[in-house]
């Protein structure tokens, strides 16, 4: 069946299938010709041979083409990178971070501990139990900032001793509980979009990270973020993350052109100057790297502009996707050129072929 939605390049989708990359959740589905089953990109089943794969932009297209939904990854369930059983588990962790989860409790819920561990390792870069500890420490920071003592916070947060609390706190945050009262904390949440998973990170003051979940420089960006803010990065959400998520939904629906959520983007003087120049590019327009260098009064710094462009930590809002080659070509983009093209099509800077958001 011919899709009315333009899919990512075949090599990008094949790599996502090979790596079971759940950040492509909702971007495409794959049908396996030999079994007649269709799956999500991150399906845990054995990988089919490339020649036996058909790609679809939606579950309905796969159904119309005669494929049956997989019983392992449940592609007909509501879209989202998080499997429903794990999503419920995460909700419970964040609702009561002090609770200590044991493997037998996961088994009682019908969850295999190894599967849970692999999912959290792949999607959060840490095991489930490490995720729980990070959420527990994040909640503890909130308690201490509201005036609680370290001793009462330790036991209210589910730690068996003050020394154990201090050790876990310092390991995760890099500071002591006492020092944390005046320190910054970045909360990170994964949100879905028509172009795959986005990671949104924010302090209580501003959004400081907005990146595609499969970007290869993401680990470097997180390290830079931790260094720039001298703070821990913990799972969670806040009002600014929720505001950004709502604005992204409106943006991808074509109903929003200017983001209002506060953002903060520390960097070198030249980087910040470049990023501010990117923010001045109007919706629906593009500029070349040379244009940006000229705007900055640094005509011989095209390469430096390109490097600053690539170091941007707040995709879409700081629209590095609007910078193209002098010849009009779509040059490098950390999220992948196919995403750059879709964003420019959405904004009207390129003619869709056809519209991704029909």
Would you please indicate which residues are annotated as catalytic (active-site) residues? Answer: 39, 320
**Strand-pair partners of 211:** 199
Within 125-267, residue ranges assigned H as helices are 128-145, 150-156, 162-173, 177-180, 218-229, 239-252
Within the chain, how many helices (H) and strands (E) appear? 15, 10
Bridge partners of residue 53, in order along the sequence:
32
Q: Is 23 exposed, middle or buried (0-12, 13-18, 19+ CB in 10 A)?
A: buried
- Report in angstroms the alpha-carbon separations of 83 from 128, 135, 150, 195: 14, 20, 36, 18
Edge-to-edge, what's the strand order for the sheet holding 233-235? 207-212, 198-202, 186-191, 233-235
Measure the CA–CA gap between 69 and 122, rounded to whole angstroms: 23
Please check whether residue 197 is in contact with residue 214, taking contact to mean a CB–CB distance below 8 angstroms: yes
Q: Which has the closest alpha carbon to 126: 140, 116, 136, 141?
A: 116
Task: Render the burial of 37-58: b for 16+ CB within 10 Å, e for the rest.
Answer: bbbbbbbeeeebeeeebebbbb
Q: Identify which of 38, 50, 47 has the alpha carbon closest to the alpha carbon of residue 12.
A: 50
Two tokens at 331? 């040059």
């Amino acid at each position: 069946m011919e899709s009315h939605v333009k899919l990512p390049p075949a090599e990008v989708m094949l790599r996502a299938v090979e790596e079971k990359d759940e950040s492509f959740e909702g971007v495409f589905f794959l049908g396996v010709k030999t079994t007649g089953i269709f799956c999500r990109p991150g399906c845990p089943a054995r990988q089919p041979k490339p020649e036996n794969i058909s790609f679809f932009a939606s579950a309905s297209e796969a159904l119309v083409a005669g494929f049956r939904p997989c019983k392992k990854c449940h592609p007909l369930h509501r879209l989202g990178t998080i499997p429903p059983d794990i999503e419920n588990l995460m909700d419970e962790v964040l609702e009561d971070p002090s609770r200590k989860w044991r493997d037998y409790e996961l088994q009682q819920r019908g969850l295999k501990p190894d599967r849970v561990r692999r999912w959290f390792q792949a999607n959060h870069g840490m095991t489930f139990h490490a995720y729980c500890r990070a959420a527990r420490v994040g909640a503890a920071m909130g308690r201490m900032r509201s005036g609680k003592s370290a001793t009462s916070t330790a036991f209210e947060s589910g730690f068996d001793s003050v020394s154990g609390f201090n050790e876990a706190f310092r390991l995760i945050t890099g500071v002591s509980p006492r020092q944390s009262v005046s320190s910054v904390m970045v909360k990170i949440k994964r949100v879905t979009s028509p172009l795959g998973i986005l990671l949104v990170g924010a302090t209580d003051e501003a959004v400081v990270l907005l990146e595609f979940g499969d970007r290869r420089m993401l680990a470097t960006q997180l390290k830079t973020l931790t260094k720039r803010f001298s703070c821990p990065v913990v799972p969670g959400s806040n009002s600014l993350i929720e505001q950004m998520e709502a604005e992204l939904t409106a943006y991808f629906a074509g109903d929003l052109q200017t983001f209002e959520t506060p953002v903060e983007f520390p960097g070198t003087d030249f980087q910040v100057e470049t990023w501010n120049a990117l923010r001045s590019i109007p919706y629906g327009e593009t500029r070349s790297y040379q244009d940006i260098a000229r705007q900055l009064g640094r005509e011989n710094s095209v390469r430096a502009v390109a490097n600053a462009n690539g170091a941007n930590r707040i995709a879409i809002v700081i629209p590095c996707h609007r910078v193209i080659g002098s010849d009009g070509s779509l040059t490098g983009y950390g999220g992948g050129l196919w995403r750059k093209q879709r964003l420019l099509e959405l904004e009207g800077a390129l003619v869709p072929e056809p519209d991704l958001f029909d």
